[in-house]
Structure 1
């Protein structure tokens, strides 16, 4: 008999428990600590990927783990790597009246 009544939920719970058990082999039996480590790694990875890459990675995760991956996520605008006529902005600091200014973030890309 199904624990949740839905096979898809049972499958994701089983897979998530397997992941947590494998993390526990390294960190110890504290399930909360294992969950926190999994969450920290997933969300750090997510924050360092482009929106497209994050979507690609998340599509390969079990449903429950995918929820952890996206929990609290706010999509960032796409930034231009190079200056073009439609995108401008500089990452380098500049000087104003002889003072060093902090780097300015690049402008959001206006291209799709």
Structure 2
């Protein structure tokens, strides 16, 4: 018997926890909620910066639960603020925090982007990065 009764649900939870744990490991954080907040906010800012078709291609590679997080609150017909610069991208991600982590914000966002890239095919990440201004692409290590 599985934890929730359906193996697909259990796998979705395991996959999401793996992503959150990877963020925690990357940043040496112990707060799972903070790591999830960073991951969620990074996915949302990235989603809102991508063209609709590129968002869909990217989301298709996300695990089930992370895909739900990615699309949470998504309104493709709504114009998101156009983010062209690294600092704007970082500020948009960090806006999700009531109390900003004490680390360098660009390093924090870069770590989240690296974790995301570790779980997505290299080809898709190349497509995502190619659709972003160079200054934002520089957030990836």
Instruction: Tell me which interval the TM-score lies in, with the shorter structure as reference length.
Output: 0.5 to 0.7
- What is the aligned partner in structure 1 of residue 74 from structure 2? 73
Q: CA RMSD in A?
A: 1.6
1:29 Cα deviation from its structure 2 partner:
1.0
- Segment of structure 1 superposing worse, 35-44 or 18-27: 18-27
Kindly tell me the number of residue pairs found equivalent between the two proteins.
78
1:76 Cα deviation from its structure 2 partner:
2.5
Alignment TM-score, normalising by the size of structure 1: 0.65
Alignment TM-score, normalising by the size of structure 2: 0.52
- What is the aligned partner in structure 2 of residue 45 from structure 1? 46
Tell me: CA distance 1:29–1:73, structure 2 relative to 1, closer, same or farther (3 Å). Answer: same
Distance 1:75 1:20 in 2: 26
* Greater C-alpha Rg: 1
List 4+ stretches of structure 1 deviating above 3 A.
none
Q: Deviations 1:24-71 (Å, cap 9, x if unpaired)? A: 111501011001000011001100111111111111001110111011
Unaligned runs of 5+ in 1: 78-112
Q: Secondary structure at the match of 2:2?
A: coil
* Greater relative contact order (Cα < 8 A, sep 6+): 2
1:7 Cα deviation from its structure 2 partner:
1.1
